[in-house]
A and B are shown apart, each in its own frame.
Chain A
Amino acid sequence: MLTSVEIAALGLSLKVALTATIVALPFAIATAYWLARTEFRGKIFIDTLIHIPLVVPPVVVGYLLLVTLAPTGGLGAWLADMGLSPAFKWQGAALASGLMAFPLMVRSIRQAFEAEPSTYNDVAHTLAIPYWTRFRRISLPLAYSGILSGTVLGFARAIGEFGATITFAANIPGLTQTLPLALYSAAQAPGGEDAAARLALLCLIPALASLFASEWLYRRAKRRLGANA
């Protein structure tokens, strides 16, 4: 059976990763749609900015979050005064994970929006279908599989997040110690090999569950749209 440390780490990991994914998803969809559908000056700059967490070491992202949001000064101090400081809290872990998952989600969802044939947009224009209706009834359902895979990718990235989390939220058992952090602690402790192996196996549970769920949802969507969708 699972130990209390393992249960706490698993529960916290799920809470952090689910929060990170759910909060990031609408922003990822909006950003992806914006980037897929509009051309503007400076688009390449925005695109690069969004992808920074993918290319820099995660610890850098954690460090930047710490510098920006630590309660010691500036924005962080103001948030602390309001009682909203995320540093060294599970919310901080969720923020760090969400930020790391965000570019992966945007990439996957954007590709789905870009794959929509331009003819749908043309027809919608000539039928005078309002922009929001077009997005809600055509683009969003068509991008369903891309949104799904982006969400799964984002969730997997969030639940496996280590570097940014440990830097920004620290490794406090029961508070910010997610599964990878607990695994790291166990692996570092003398005689912790067994505990580390159990935690490594435990990491597979949410990963496999999310993959199964996404496959099931994908098949259901495909059945609804028919063979050509």
Chain B
Amino acid sequence: MTAAPIGKVDVCWAINGTQAHAAFTLMPGVTALIGPSGAGKTTLARILSGLKHSASGMIELHGKTLLQTGVDTPVFEKARNIGLVMQSPALFPTMNVYENIMLGGKTSPNELDTLLEITGTASLLERMPATLSGGEARRVAIVRAMAAKPGLLILDEPMNGLDPKRRREIMALVRSLAHSSGTPVLLITHQLEEMLFAADHALLINGGQIVAAGTVENVLTTPETSSLLGIDDAGSLLTATVSGREDHLLVTSIGGDTLYIADDGEPIGAMLRLRIMARDIALSPLHLDGISVLNQLQGEITAIEHTDRDAVIKLCLVKSGLTLQSRITKKSCTAMKLMAGNTLFCLIKAVAVKELISDPSGGTESSRI
């Protein structure tokens, strides 16, 4: 994504007696702030939203200075216009859903209707918070924050404690809201899955420092991400466009290559984010006919990394220039005499490709998972 940043953050605060310093730019769309527990994610969210005052530095959002130590009086939380949805939905139990939404709401009736429709909360308006399920309460909390028309919406682990199906729903909702309303979202999480399913950009945080930043694809393949989040096989992320259907399979195009994947009903032209695990890619020196593997993409080895047990082969696809990772045993690596510069075929089973995000209109409007 080449969009311009919407904000800049450069703040310091104390974390367990040591000084934490986070500096990054905020991009439009959904940005995941990901890191292990205790990395300073929630503290950073509280600093941004103005709930924690003991931070110094600079925060700029949409051209407005929210904090600048020593120069201006900081803009306190009320004027910051930053929405915050915390781990607990914190719906006010003394009023129904509609009153919760409208207490700080600034939306017009039409905008509210749209918000309620996207989030599927229209039927909940008369209900009291105590009667809502966990998933419903999270959705209402998100609607309440969005109804205040924030310049930035911070979601602090909004999917905690939800079952996988509800998590998927919320992730789809976050993405859909961010793209349909144009409100930038900072999604705080320690789950890789949430970053992959919902975010466009990512900030990896540890010990109060931003250790990696960029697109989700870039942050995923950064070695720090794997070590901090304990990921065994980060795999590769690819953006593909649905170009057709064949024998109950989707034909997608990634650069100049064609990739067959399972058909979940995505429309032609939809943009998909796909993940292929390194262990699901086999390598062959020749194109193989008569085998079940449908996808055989030609690539050139750019690097080989040896671990204790196996070898990770990094390849650049010949037609598209995209990168893939394949994990094979050391024995296979030695037997095939692999080295950088070799050209090979990457064998990928269609059913091994995992679809993370589908943007039906090509990634600019709402999304569906």
Partner of B82, one of A117, A126, A225, A227: A126
* Interface 9-residue window, one of B89-97, B205-213, B233-241: B89-97
Q: Is the CB of B84 within 8 A of A122?
A: yes
| A120 touches B (CB below 8 Å) | yes
CB within 8 Å of A: which B55-99 residues: 77-84, 86, 88, 90, 92-95, 99
CB distance from B126 to the nearest CB of A (A): 13
Which A residues are CB-close (under 8 A) to B79?
128
Known: A226-B129, A227-B130. A128 touches B86 (CB 8 A): no
| B131 touches A (CB below 8 Å) | yes
| A1 touches B (CB below 8 Å) | no
| A68 touches B (CB below 8 Å) | no
Q: Is the CB of A119 within 8 A of B88?
A: yes
Known: A126-B49, A127-B104. A226 touches B128 (CB 8 A): yes
Known: A127-B144, A229-B130. A133 touches B103 (CB 8 A): yes
Classify the interface of chain B: helix, strand, loop or mixed.
mixed
CB distance from A1 to the nearest CB of B (A): 46
Q: Is the CB of A225 within 8 A of B90?
A: no
CB distance from B7 to the nearest CB of A (A): 16
Classify the interface of chain A: helix, strand, loop or mixed.
helix
| B51 touches A (CB below 8 Å) | yes
| A37 touches B (CB below 8 Å) | no
Which B residues are CB-close (under 8 A) to A74?
none
Q: Give Cα A228–Cα B104 distance, bound, in whole angstroms.
A: 23
* Interface 9-residue window, one of A51-59, A135-143, A152-160: A135-143
Q: Is the CB of B94 within 8 A of A127?
A: no
Q: Is the CB of A225 within 8 A of B93?
A: yes
CB distance from B47 to the nearest CB of A (A): 13
Q: Is the CB of A124 within 8 A of B104?
A: yes
Which B residues are CB-close (under 8 A) to A120?
90, 92
| B145 touches A (CB below 8 Å) | yes
Additional A-B contact list (4), CB under 8 Å, known A226-B131, A228-B129: A126-B84, A127-B103, A137-B95, A137-B99
Give B residues with C-beta under 8 Å from A. Answer: 46, 49-51, 77-84, 86, 88, 90, 92-95, 99, 103-104, 128-131, 144-145, 148
